[in-house]
Chains A and B, each alone.
Chain A
């Protein structure tokens, strides 16, 4: 990398998806070509804007703003140099204009993701130059209760999926005040982002890791916790690397440790890597895993806020919940609460995935419809076939048929149609999808991932696969559909946690809205009646 004053600064993304699309190879070739041709370029590896159909998106600093080219492959490098791309040449076929004017990005409300793709993820000075650590500095001036009050006033609800008010959770931990409880409290970040179709947590950790560290430090000040753990899934090796590098840098700069910014306040932070168990995204299973045990779900109560990690009061928050905190403490609770609708305040980073033309991260205030997200932003399917089914909220979320695509993106509105927003993952399927197969997979996934503690989940999922197989084979279809319906009710009502309790959501929605896929070659009165109802 060149540090010559006159060098033009260019940005090449470095998150997992950009790398998977060849960003590292492109960076190597650009660097070599610049050297060969005597062009002074300063290459910054930014995170990513997460406009993935354009990645690797190369950006160039120009007086008007950052100008982009994408998607760039190694084969395009020669023509980019021939066009003197560093000057912001608009005639090149890959030119996309000023990046921040791209409608997909411009129409978003990026509060949590304001720095993603803008800064060098591991540069603390870059982070601080873009409002980083202002929230912590404000928090250090407040009493613990003042911080909790700000989070309450922001209306922030848990972004992991359950949407429980974050401030109330923090209050419970702050109020846990017996001498035994005061000995040690913990902040645990749930970074076990296992839902298919979601990658917002990964983006925070890869593209803006200091934001998570700052959010957790503020949480520690708010409830009196001096130790934090980030429980990170093992499927995210780059997030692990970036988080550890950022934590090291934070320690070196007095932003973690025993005397944060000279305040005498203490907070330590460590990354712990999971081991490929989806269930460990459930908070009590996660705590068991952190304690070094099998990830068996605990019965609640007691709440983790009272009896959590190693039996001590513990805040367990999702990455996005903690990542929203620095903004709230910097810009004020009202600035956050001003976004959104009804009881869903602030923004939710949606992730558009699956068979999608313009996939990526779309951070929006709650309120627009699912259809706007999938068509106005994402442009429909990647292969151009008609969109048929959409699974929102991960493997435990319902499949939505076209009749429900006008549902506003809001926790309560989704609940009304029997669906969930979850962690904001939107997985799009074209008309070749076999919904019988998808329903079977939901049960099969539950077989593989159930912790095994409660019977409805452990056995129910196995029976579910068998019943769906019989239905799809045309055996006693009426009776077996009724059996499946009963089984789903039992799992819903009788499971200890959301794993068994929500696996029926995708299954029931598939039967209800796409029943024709279950009995392609047989006639069924029961199914017909189900279809008429729907």
Chain B
């Protein structure tokens, strides 16, 4: 559900997604998920296609996108790294972890590193509360994270990209 790819914008693919889902009751969230799963974000161009298909105004679609933390309107880095900010992880050192992550990556939350490898996001609970601090990358959850294991994880994510090249 959160695995950004590097797929570029294709209006016909987006239209196909919309056409497939638009007759579902309450179709807007399923459509936005499908668009973001495909393109890693919800481009402005997609809003222009979704609104008429659901007989909504673009403002209404935009209002829904902006209400939900999960939806993003800009291309993220190659990996979205989410750090749990909730209380159970706080009890296990997540405040130090997030400070460390921001400092070493050189970005604040919602920011993307200069090499576009990592976009850092906060998340409120991954349900891994007995084994915090927790981090999510794509559909993988990481337990008992420390500043050291976070650095190792980021190194791995950056190396993965090099192997692909």
Contacts and interface: CB of A to CB of B under 8 A. Distances in A.
Interface in A198-239: 198-199, 202, 234-238
Given A354-B132, A438-B87, A441-B90, A199 B127 contact: yes
A356 B32 CA distance: 38
A530 interface: no
Contacts of A53: 130
B89 interface: yes
B25 to A, nearest CB: 7
Given A196-B88, A395-B86, A236 B127 contact: yes
A433 B131 CA distance: 18
Contact of A354 (B30, B67, B91): B91
Contacts of B125: 193-196, 198, 235
A236 B134 CA distance: 13
Q: Give the interface SS of chain B, mostly helix, strand, loop or mixed.
A: loop
A321 to B, nearest CB: 18
A50 to B, nearest CB: 8
A526 interface: no
A196 B131 contact: no
B136 A235 contact: yes
Interface stretch (B9-17, B138-146, B156-164): B138-146
Interface stretch (A115-123, A269-277, A455-463): A269-277
Contacts of A363: none
B122 to A, nearest CB: 8
A52 B124 contact: no
Contacts of A293: 28, 64
Nearest to B126: A235
Contacts of A520: none
Contact of A395 (B33, B87, B130): B87
A244 B131 CA distance: 26
Given A196-B129, A198-B129, A272 B87 contact: no
B109 to A, nearest CB: 11
Interface string A1-34: 0000000000000001101110000000000000
B150 interface: no
Nearest to A16: B141
A275 B87 contact: no
B92 A278 contact: no
Nearest to A236: B127
Contact of A20 (B54, B71, B143): B143
B69 A427 contact: no
A238 B27 CA distance: 22
B114 interface: no
B130 A360 contact: yes
B9 to A, nearest CB: 21
A448 B91 CA distance: 20
| Interface range on chain A (Cβ under 8 Å from partner) | 35 or more
Q: Which has the most chain A C-beta neighbours within 10 Å: B71, B128, B132, B141?
A: B128
Contacts of B130: 17, 50, 52-53, 199, 351-353, 356, 359-360
B70 A234 contact: yes
A355 interface: yes
Contacts of A306: none
Contacts of B32: 275
Contacts of B129: 196-199, 351, 353-354, 359, 425, 427
B47 interface: no
A448 B123 CA distance: 11
Given A196-B86, A199-B128, A359-B131, A273 B33 contact: yes
Given A353-B130, A355-B91, A441-B90, A272 B124 contact: no
A148 to B, nearest CB: 26
B1 interface: yes
A438 B127 CA distance: 20
A290 B69 CA distance: 16
B52 interface: no
Nearest to A289: B29
B63 A237 contact: no
Contacts of B68: 274-277, 295
A449 B125 CA distance: 13
B69 A20 contact: no
A294 B25 CA distance: 15
A211 B54 CA distance: 35
A164 B32 CA distance: 34
Interface in B75-111: 86-92, 95
Contacts of A235: 123, 125-127, 136
Nearest to B130: A359
A291 interface: yes
B87 A197 contact: yes
Given A275-B71, A276-B70, A277-B67, A20 B90 contact: no
23 contacts: A17-B143, A19-B140, A20-B140, A50-B130, A52-B131, A196-B89, A198-B125, A275-B29, A275-B32, A275-B33, A276-B68, A276-B69, A276-B123, A292-B28, A292-B54, A310-B26, A353-B129, A354-B87, A354-B91, A355-B92, A395-B124, A425-B88, A425-B129
Closest 10 pairs (CB-CB, A-B):
A359-B130, A196-B86, A292-B28, A353-B129, A275-B68, A354-B91, A276-B70, A20-B143, A276-B69, A275-B70
